[in-house]
């Protein structure tokens, strides 16, 4: 709020000190929203202008054209104030404005449309468009092609497209890539257009001969149809009649029938010739769809139980079922909790008798379960209050992430006769008082410390538990480290996508940022740190839906 009063004061001073020269002060600005990253561009023309931005989320900037990352979706009112001083340092012109922006998603838009083109088999009117677009890992994608001759196509993959033009000319071809969660507002789009020169030589001859081969897939109602037609062109129109009232338009489709029977399948090919009647070829064949042969289920579910040493509350359950296929194993422990996996470790919080069941599913028609009872003896009330802290070590060169964690047992009045069990949340445990554990993969883990204080002979034990959530994130090295003028970070990518990087001091204040379009392979991010004060700084890199951490020392 003080900054707003500052610009109101500047406006009064500018009114007092305006000379005869007219200086154009313009606080208007435009913004470009990309996911939750917004780039602001001021419309002022005077390079000596001073700027103040309030982004509406409690943060601000003095940059002329800042790029801001909003932590949440929503509507924000952005304030921009600008001021120009004369050579004597007196304010002579100022302006301010407010503008409302809508941040629709807190994930950066990962769709990047791009393609190149080339002639197919020296046919100057047959063009292959090589799709070089990129999207986020695991996101749904739709590619819409507009070929500039009144035709278009759509696919749900980043596949290439081959298109045949019927007339010579220059065509403007556009590709619209949509990615995200289709059918919701959590999507983003990007468009790329380019022109192609097309020369049609001779009319396409009518020499296509329709033909196909049908084959069943995996002993089921699903059939694959392999199009073996002679002289088939990419521009030919294809219609499949599967004989059950449904149709297909792919070159070599697969189709699933709902019941056994005999079906007459037809493949018809249309070739449209400029100035002539269409060329049509058709072939039909009968196929016999049989009921699938049931696969025998020889599953006998079984599992073994191992109690953790020095405790009667922690058990490890191991699947010992014999099966040829990899099963899906789920567990119920009788205390309203569940687990998954061939081997699980579970701590029972209260005494009692529990029915532990393992459900094994090999396929939709082959599954089984088995159960046993486990009795947890009562415990006597005690004042144990387990507690622990942890320290994540810097990344090592083998795996590129901070996954080595040192745990410190801070349980008050811990006795040497007390039993300690650590459950790390990745199906492993430890009985060390202060263990060091290496997590194999990045992710979020629920780590629990169980302390068992044994009673006197003939009395029950006292058991208490505490759990904390730990996040293991990828990490990269900064160099040179320590740094004086610049510091670099290497970010390898398997696909091209935007890289957003931010530098924070130890007070968690943003001091520098970098937005760079990543390429496939190694990407070097270079930060200018010459103006930073000496100290330790953290770098947070956001790319492809993940966070990468680095750290350096400024001398």
What is the secondary structure of 312-325 as a DSSP string? SSEEEEEE--B-SS
Is the domain defined by 478-554 classed in CATH 2.30.30.40?
no
Instruction: Return the domain boundaries, the chain.
Output: 2-103, 115-198, 212-289, 303-376, 388-472, 478-554
What is the spatial distance between Cα 512 and Cα 530, in angstroms, rounded to a whole number?
11
Q: What is the pLDDT of residue 162?
A: 94
Give yes or no on whether 2-103 and 115-198 have one common fold.
Answer: yes
pTM: 0.31
pLDDT tens for each residue of the chain, 555 residues long: 444 444 444 444 444 444 434 566 888 999 988 877 889 998 876 666 788 999 999 999 988 899 998 887 788 999 999 988 887 777 788 889 999 998 876 455 678 899 999 998 878 889 999 999 988 777 788 999 999 998 999 998 899 999 999 888 889 999 999 887 776 667 788 899 998 988 876 555 678 899 999 888 776 789 999 999 998 988 889 999 999 999 999 999 999 999 889 999 999 998 887 756 678 888 998 898 888 776 677 788 899 998 877 677 888 999 988 776 678 899 999 998 999 988 899 988 888 899 999 999 887 778 888 999 998 887 656 778 899 998 877 554 434 456 788 999 999 988 888 889 999 988 899 999 999 998 887 778 899 999 988 765 545 567 888 999 887 777 778 899 999 999 999 988 888 999 999 999 988 889 999 999 999 989 999 999 999 999 999 898 888 777 788 889 998
Give yes or no for a contact between 57 and 75, defined as CB atoms under 8 angstroms apart. Answer: no
Q: Return the SS3 of 8.
A: helix
What is the spatial distance between Cα 361 and Cα 365, in angstroms, rounded to a whole number?
8
Element (H, E) at 69: strand 67-69
Q: Which residues pair with 277 in a beta bridge?
A: none
What is the spatial distance between Cα 126 and Cα 234, in angstroms, rounded to a whole number?
8
- Fold of the domain spanning 388-472: Immunoglobulin-like (2.60.40)
H, E, C per residue of 234-289: CCCEEEEECCCCCEECCCCCEEECCCCEEEEEEEEEEECCCCCCCEEEEEEEEEEE
Superfamily of the domain at 115-198? Immunoglobulins (2.60.40.10)
Cβ contacts of residue 273 below 8 Å, gap of 6+? 203, 204, 206, 279
Give yes or no for a contact between 254 and 245, defined as CB atoms under 8 angstroms apart. Answer: no
- Fold of the domain spanning 212-289: Immunoglobulin-like (2.60.40)
Enter the CATH code of domain 2-103: 2.60.40.10
10 Å Cβ neighbour count for 270? 15
Q: Which residue shows structure tokens 């220059």?
A: 170
- Fold of the domain spanning 303-376: Immunoglobulin-like (2.60.40)
């Amino acid at each position: 709020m003080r900054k707003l009063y500052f610009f109101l004061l500047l406006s009064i001073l500018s009114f007092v000190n305006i000379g005869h020269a007219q200086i154009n002060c313009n606080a208007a600005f435009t913004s470009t929203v990309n996911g939750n990253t917004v780039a602001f561009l001021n419309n002022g023309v005077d390079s000596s202008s001073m700027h103040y931005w309030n982004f509406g989320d409690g943060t601000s900037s003095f940059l002329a054209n800042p790029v801001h990352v909003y932590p949440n979706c929503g509507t924000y009112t952005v304030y921009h104030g600008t001021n120009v001083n004369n050579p004597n340092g007196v304010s002579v012109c100022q302006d301010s404005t407010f503008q409302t922006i809508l941040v629709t998603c807190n994930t950066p838009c990962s769709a990047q449309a791009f393609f190149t083109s080339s002639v197919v088999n020296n046919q100057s009117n047959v063009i292959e468009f090589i799709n070089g677009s990129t999207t986020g890992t695991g996101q749904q994608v739709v590619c819409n092609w507009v070929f500039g001759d009144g035709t278009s196509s759509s696919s749900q993959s980043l596949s290439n497209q081959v298109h045949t033009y019927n007339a010579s000319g220059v065509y403007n071809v556009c590709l619209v890539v949509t990615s995200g969660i289709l059918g919701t507002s959590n999507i983003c789009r990007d468009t790329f257009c380019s022109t192609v020169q097309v020369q049609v030589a001779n009319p396409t001859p009518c020499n296509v001969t329709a033909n196909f081969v049908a084959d069943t897939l995996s002993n089921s109602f699903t059939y694959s149809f392999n199009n073996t037609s002679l002289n088939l062109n990419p521009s030919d129109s294809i219609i499949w009649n599967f004989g059950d009232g449904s149709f297909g338009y792919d070159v070599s489709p697969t189709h699933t029938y709902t019941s056994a029977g005999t079906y007459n399948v037809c493949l018809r090919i249309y070739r449209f010739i400029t100035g002539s009647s269409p060329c049509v070829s058709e072939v039909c064949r009968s196929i016999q769809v049989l009921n699938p042969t049931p696969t025998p289920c020889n599953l006998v579910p079984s599992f073994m139980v191992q109690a953790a040493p020095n405790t009667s509350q922690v058990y490890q359950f191991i699947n010992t079922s014999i099966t040829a296929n990899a099963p899906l194993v789920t567990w119920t422990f009788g205390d309203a909790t569940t687990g998954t996996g061939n081997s699980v470790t579970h701590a029972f919080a209260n005494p009692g008798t529990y029915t532990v069941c393992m459900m094994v599913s090999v396929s939709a028609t082959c599954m089984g379960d088995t159960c046993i009872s486990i009795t947890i003896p009562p415990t006597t009330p005690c004042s144990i209050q387990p507690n622990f802290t942890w320290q994540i070590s810097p990344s090592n060169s083998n795996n590129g992430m901070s996954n080595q964690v040192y745990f410190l047992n801070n349980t008050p009045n811990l006795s040497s006769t007390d039993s300690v069990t650590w459950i790390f949340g990745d199906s492993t445990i430890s009985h060390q008082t202060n263990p060091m554990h290496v997590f194999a993969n990045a992710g979020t883990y629920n780590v629990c410390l169980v302390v068992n204080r044994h009673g006197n002979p003939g009395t029950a034990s006292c058991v208490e538990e505490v759990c904390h959530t730990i996040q293991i994130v990828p990490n990269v090295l900064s160099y040179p480290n320590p740094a004086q003028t610049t510091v670099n970070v290497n970010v390898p990518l398997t696909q091209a996508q935007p890289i957003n990087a931010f530098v924070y001091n130890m007070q968690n204040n943003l001091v520098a940022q970098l937005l760079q379009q990543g390429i496939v392979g190694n990407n070097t991010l270079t930060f200018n740190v010459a103006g930073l004060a000496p100290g330790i700084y953290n770098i947070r890199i956001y790319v492809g839906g993940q966070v990468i951490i680095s750290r350096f020392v400024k001398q």
